């Protein structure tokens, strides 16, 4: 099907706000790997129930011809809806990139907003931008995804560079028209909402904390090595240990629950014992790295115990590294131990090929001769042979490698086979050293296959395991465990490509192939001769008694809570607040209102029981006879305060507990909240509650001490509505412990959200005139002295409550160490920007607060926001702490070398200066006023760099992906120059270029090589440069200039090839070719695409390039801290 789409109008632009995938998921790819993009407005989130794809997918290709591509007004644009597999789809593009300088493209479920709750569908698909000049250069990327309400679109945020797309000579945009293709294969899904792993398989899974699937797959593998499990159980722990602080106890607890629980098991106690926080649980790590770190930690914890040496006994093998001279009698060898083996995947068809490569002999000869002691440089053989293999052999497959051509890590998805039975004695023990122990038969059976599904930047881990080494395999995928056949566990994890059958062969003649991104990553083999020992029995007698008691108690509590939850509809929770609770909480836990109901005593009462039965329970609990109890209902007022409202009527006390709850809160809550009023006599014995009439008002009293800033509950009184506060002053002084004639001030605490309202009470007016009613709060204090304003921070109740309401403890962190708290300050949310930086400067001992720059905290990524707070850019501290609808208590600071107000009027550029005669590049930060020009930049740079001569002239170039795109004119303003993505390069102008003749040409010269993995496409690298060529000059003459300029040795330079390259197509040159003749077209658009190419291997060391990286992004290694 083909659709021609007119350019969208302004009305067509979708107004939904997009959230970048990097803030929402921990483990997905960027440029070469699929990323999802989520719409904030979509609030319905489906559960991550797993589904299994069925066979025989339906496939189809959709072609979208987009005219007037550059005239798009909207940020994003959807294709027409098309149907594959009975489902509606559409392609979503961001013509100018989704916050990146690449075209962003996704496959979207067209009707996701209208689908039922819990919907899910699986698709393999590829997206392509067609090259309309040379189809073989069409850019196509493929992936697969399980779409659901949470992830209704999936694709590639960095599909292709915008500079390539918008370059007409490249062929992707012809006559302002682009052609997009989507090949989609839909697999029908089988839902597993009610799946019970224990019931179906006898095993349970592990819960994923966010990005801990890598850890779950490893833990399941180690757990099912029974000798390892037994050793963990026998590690000494005590009943006083806490799992969150003891790795052995946490691991014992986890293994016990895996063995005896009926549902999936949480890993939070274990990660807490590692010393990890929530951030670590959302940071995906490497399985191999975690395996090593965990085993090293356990090996250390086992020292001096009955299980010392278990890790070595299970996993340790030995090999010998040797160098043997060929012509003299000299041999050097070194014995080393290993716990796992790293096997090459690239270039190897199976495990045996990898072992062949592992023991392959390397010849040391020519320039690489070996310096033998007392023999000088000698031809030699170098290699590795094994002395012994461990009972449990862990093979780490090198699926991730550094690609020198791409200057980045890549995942190797090549097909790689592994056998069920692995014979390492094959070929008469070719892998073994001559002095190896050959008495043990090294025949291994496969126990588990750990799988990685995804790309280099993240993905998902799960494991296929044979817990008893029978023919039955099980897939352990986080919480779910399923039975699987051997084909699923072995052949389908080899990797490589999968070709899908075509439903309509005439529709698309090209085979529909997908790279299989799910493949084996780690293999665990168990030696046949050690099988009985390793797969031993493990039962309760192996578990310490204190551990059994502790874990059984935990299980009983869990079952009790489960039962309570199941029976919750039969019970009512009654929370009873008393005077004692108010005294305990006010001024410590709370300051506003009267009590935190989460901290008062709760009674669980059957709904059908009469309220009188509940009163008897209260009598037993508190020792207060039923006749002395009076209960008040609480009510939430319109100003959001929560106060005792009225006492229960005699009629209400005859009702059942369930009826009373519904009266109190209209059935919105399963809880009933009550205040218990008990009157005490002088001997502190309870008295019958006094009769209450309509004229009586129950008031609660809080006392404030300005000198000590203390606030406390002192009691309650029942007053007459027509009475006056002046009549109870003596009683209040008695409650406060003041003299009877102490002058006191009274205030009513009215509300505290969103603002504090606390007003003075006129002691001469009646309580009714002051609009006081049941449940109101009266705060009082000694009348403020004249010097209070200067000697105390909060002289009266209103100022104190205002202070408490707005106070905020802020944790400050240095921007250079964004994970570590540096210091904390108690501030007010109403503090101005100046107040905050002044306090920070004072804390740091800095004279000038203007040199402090603050950055807010991102509550979702738990990292600093990309942009700092502008000077006086916010009004109050609270504005700095709010991130969307969340409030943080973290701020980051940095100390600048100049005041921030000055810095904000300056433009800072990072300029790489290439020295004319030395092979060095130095990065300089140039800081100038924003209205400065390139000439100002060059003049400033001249004062900082070493020039070849005092009269040397400089120029500034824009370099991107190893090509020169621009020479900046001296008059150009610097304000809009972006050095975040492009490199700014400064260099001296060579003398010969200052006087260019009419027939001379200044040409671009770039280094390049061909990428064998990308249809031999040209890949540029290294530093590009200009070269002046003269009329009639041959390639042989030009080569002499280039060799002299680059200082390349003759032997290496002889291997180089030279080509005239236009529109990315090379035309190789001979020494006799006249070079200027190729560069006749001076008016060609994009001079950088017509250049002299130098083809050779990139031998330069790789440098980490972080110009366009987020300044706070960093990779974090696996660490276990405890």
Residues that are catalytic? 213, 460
Angle ∠(462,468,471) on CA atoms, nearest 5: 80
Q: Cα dihedral angle (222, 226, 229, 231), rounded to 10 degrees?
A: -120
Here the tokens at position 693 are 């009439």
Q: In angstroms, what CA-CA distances link 458 with 26, 30, 282?
A: 8, 9, 12
Give the number of other CB atoms < 10 A from CB of residue 34: 25
Place of tokens 């505290």: 752
> Hey, which residues does 423 pair with through a beta bridge?
443
Quick check: helix, strand or coil at residue 627? helix
Say how far apart CA 135 and CA 181 lie, in whole Å. Answer: 12
Here the tokens at position 614 are 């509940």
Quick check: helix, strand or coil at residue 887? strand
Whether the upstream peptide bond of residue 202 has omega within 30° of 0, thus cis, is no
**Under 8 Å between Cβ of 647 and 631:** yes
Exposed/middle/buried for residue 547 (C-beta within 10 Å: 0-12, 13-18, 19+): buried
Here the tokens at position 493 are 């994890």
DSSP annotation of 556 reads: H
Give the number of other CB atoms < 10 A from CB of residue 606: 14
Closest residue by Cα to residue 219 from 494, 478, 471: 478
Say how far apart CA 958 and CA 965 lie, in whole Å. Answer: 6
Say how far apart CA 265 and CA 268 lie, in whole Å. Answer: 9
Exposed/middle/buried for residue 1034 (C-beta within 10 Å: 0-12, 13-18, 19+): middle
Here the tokens at position 900 are 């921030």
Say how far apart CA 277 and CA 282 lie, in whole Å. Answer: 9
Exposed/middle/buried for residue 765 (C-beta within 10 Å: 0-12, 13-18, 19+): middle
Residue 955 dihedral angles phi and psi, to the nearest 5°:
-135, 155
Here the tokens at position 743 are 């002058």
Say how far apart CA 662 and CA 681 lie, in whole Å. Answer: 35
**Under 8 Å between Cβ of 982 and 965:** yes
Residue 1005 dihedral angles phi and psi, to the nearest 5°:
-125, 125
Here the tokens at position 995 are 């006087």
**Under 8 Å between Cβ of 358 and 340:** no
Q: In angstroms, what CA-CA distances link 365 with 238, 321, 325?
A: 61, 18, 10
Here the tokens at position 429 are 């023990």
Give the number of other CB atoms < 10 A from CB of residue 387: 16
Say how far apart CA 189 and CA 856 lie, in whole Å. Answer: 44
Say how far apart CA 850 and CA 838 lie, in whole Å. Answer: 8
* HSE-up (13 A, CA, CB side) for residue 232: 26
Q: In angstroms, what CA-CA distances link 1109 with 149, 236, 979?
A: 31, 47, 12
> Hey, which residues does 911 pair with through a beta bridge?
924, 984
Place of tokens 């409650």: 735
């Amino acid at each position: 099907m083909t659709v021609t789409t007119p350019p969208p109008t302004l009305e067509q632009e979708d107004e939904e706000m997009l959230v970048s995938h990097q803030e929402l998921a921990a483990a997905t790819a960027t440029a070469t790997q699929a990323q999802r993009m989520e719409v904030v407005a979509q609030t319905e989130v489906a559960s991550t129930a797993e589904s299994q794809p069925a066979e025989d997918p339906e496939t189809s290709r959709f072609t979208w011809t987009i005219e007037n591509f550059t005239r798009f007004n909207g940020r994003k644009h959807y294709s027409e809806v098309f149907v594959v597999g009975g489902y509606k789809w559409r392609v979503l593009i961001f013509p100018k990139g989704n916050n990146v300088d690449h075209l962003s493209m996704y496959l979207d479920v067209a009707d996701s907003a209208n689908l039922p709750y819990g919907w899910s569908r699986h698709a393999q698909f590829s997206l392509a931008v067609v090259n309309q000049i040379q189809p073989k250069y069409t850019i196509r990327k493929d992936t697969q995804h399980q779409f659901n309400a949470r992830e209704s679109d999936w694709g590639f945020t960095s599909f292709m560079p915008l500079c390539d797309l918008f370059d007409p000579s490249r062929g992707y945009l012809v006559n302002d028209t682009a052609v997009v293709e989507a090949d989609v294969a839909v697999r029908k899904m089988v839902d597993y909402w009610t799946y019970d792993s224990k019931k179906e398989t006898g095993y349970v899974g592990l819960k994923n904390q966010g990005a801990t699937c890598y850890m779950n797959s490893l833990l399941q593998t180690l757990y099912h090595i029974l000798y390892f499990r037994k050793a963990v159980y026998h590690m000494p722990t005590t009943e006083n240990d806490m799992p969150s602080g003891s790795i052995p106890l946490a691991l014992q607890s986890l293994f016990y629950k895996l063995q005896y629980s009926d549902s999936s098991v949480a890993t939070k106690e274990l990660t807490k014992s590692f010393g990890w926080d929530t951030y670590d649980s959302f940071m995906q790590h490497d399985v191999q790295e975690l395996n090593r770190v965990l085993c090293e930690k356990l090996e250390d914890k086992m020292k001096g115990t009955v299980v010392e040496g278990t890790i070595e006994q299970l996993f340790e093998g030995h090999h010998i590294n040797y160098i043997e001279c060929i012509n003299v009698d000299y041999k050097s060898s070194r014995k080393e131990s290993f716990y796992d083996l790293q096997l090459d995947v690239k270039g190897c068809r199976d495990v045996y090929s990898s072992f062949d490569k592992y023991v392959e002999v390397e010849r040391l000869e020519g320039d690489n001769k070996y310096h033998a002691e007392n023999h000088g440089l000698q031809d030699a053989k170098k290699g590795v042979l094994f002395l012994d293999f461990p009972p449990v052999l862990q093979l780490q497959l090198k699926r991730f490698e550094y690609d020198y051509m791409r200057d980045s890590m890549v995942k190797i998805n090549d097909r790689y086979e592994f056998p069920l039975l692995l014979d390492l004695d094959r070929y008469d023990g070719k892998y073994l050293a001559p002095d190896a122990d050959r008495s043990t038969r090294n025949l291994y059976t496969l126990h588990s296959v750990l799988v990685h599904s995804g790309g280099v930047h993240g993905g998902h881990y799960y494991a296929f395991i044979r817990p008893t080494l029978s023919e039955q395999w099980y897939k352990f995928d986080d919480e779910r465990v399923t039975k699987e056949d051997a084909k699923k566990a072995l052949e389908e994890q080899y990797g490589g490509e999968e070709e899908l059958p075509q439903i309509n062969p005439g529709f698309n003649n090209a085979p529909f192939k997908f790279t299989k991104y799910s493949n084996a990553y780690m293999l665990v083999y168990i030696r046949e001769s050690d099988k009985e020992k390793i797969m031993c029995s493990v039962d309760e007698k192996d578990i310490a008694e204190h551990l059994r008691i502790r874990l059984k108690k935990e299980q009983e509590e869990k079952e009790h809570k489960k039962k309570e939850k199941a029976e919750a509809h039969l019970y009512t929770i009654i929370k009873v607040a008393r005077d004692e609770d108010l005294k305990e909480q006010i001024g410590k836990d709370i300051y506003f209102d009267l009590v935190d109901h989460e901290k008062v005593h709760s009674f669980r009462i059957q709904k059908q029981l009469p309220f009188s039965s509940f009163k008897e329970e209260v009598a037993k609990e508190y020792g207060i006879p039923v006749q002395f109890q009076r209960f008040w209902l609480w009510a939430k007022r319109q100003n959001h305060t929560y106060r005792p409202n009225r006492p229960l009527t005699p009629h209400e006390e005859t009702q059942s507990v369930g009826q009373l709850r519904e009266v109190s809160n209209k059935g919105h809550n399963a809880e009933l909240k009550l205040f218990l009023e008990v009157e005490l006599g002088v001997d502190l014995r309870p008295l019958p509650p006094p009769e209450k009439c309509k004229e009586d008002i129950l008031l609660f009293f809080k006392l404030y001490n300005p000198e000590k800033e203390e606030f406390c509950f002192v009691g309650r009184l029942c007053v007459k509505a027509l009475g006056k506060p002046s009549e109870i002053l003596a009683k209040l002084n008695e409650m406060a412990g003041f003299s009877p004639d102490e002058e006191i001030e009274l205030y009513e605490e009215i509300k505290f959200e969103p603002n504090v309202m606390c007003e003075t009470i006129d002691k001469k007016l009646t309580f009714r005139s002051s609009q006081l009613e049941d449940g109101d709060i009266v705060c009082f204090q000694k009348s403020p002295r004249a010097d209070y304003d200067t000697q105390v921070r909060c002289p009266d109740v209103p100022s104190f409550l205002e202070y408490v309401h707005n106070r905020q403890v802020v944790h400050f962190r240095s921007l250079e160490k964004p994970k570590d708290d540096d210091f904390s300050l108690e501030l007010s949310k109403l503090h101005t920007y100046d107040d905050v930086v002044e306090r920070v400067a004072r804390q740091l001992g800095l004279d000038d607060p203007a040199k402090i720059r603050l950055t807010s905290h991102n509550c979702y990524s738990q990292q600093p926001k990309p942009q700092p707070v502008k000077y006086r850019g916010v009004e109050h501290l609270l504005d700095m702490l709010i991130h969307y609808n969340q409030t943080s208590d973290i701020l980051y600071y940095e100390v600048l070398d100049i005041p921030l107000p000055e810095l904000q009027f300056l433009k800072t550029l990072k300029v790489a200066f290439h020295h004319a005669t030395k092979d060095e590049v130095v990065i300089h930060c140039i800081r100038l006023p924003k209205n400065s020009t390139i000439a100002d930049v060059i003049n400033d740079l001249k004062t900082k760099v070493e020039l070849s001569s005092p009269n040397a002239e400089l120029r500034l170039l824009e370099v991107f992906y190893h090509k020169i795109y621009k020479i900046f004119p001296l008059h150009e303003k610097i304000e809009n120059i972006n050095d975040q993505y492009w490199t700014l390069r400064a260099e001296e102008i060579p003398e010969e270029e200052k006087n260019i003749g009419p027939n001379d040409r200044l040409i671009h010269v770039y280094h390049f090589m061909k990428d064998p993995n990308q249809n031999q496409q040209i890949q540029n690298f290294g530093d590009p440069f200009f070269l002046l060529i003269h009329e009639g000059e041959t390639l042989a003459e030009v080569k002499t200039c280039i060799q002299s300029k680059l200082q390349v040795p003759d032997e290496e330079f002889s291997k180089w090839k030279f080509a005239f390259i236009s529109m990315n197509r090379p035309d190789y040159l001979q020494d006799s070719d006249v070079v200027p003749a190729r560069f006749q077209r001076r008016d060609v658009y994009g001079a950088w695409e017509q250049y002299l190419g130098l083809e050779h291997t990139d031998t330069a060391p790789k440098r980490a390039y972080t110009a366009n990286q987020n300044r706070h992004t960093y990779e974090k290694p696996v660490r276990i801290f405890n």
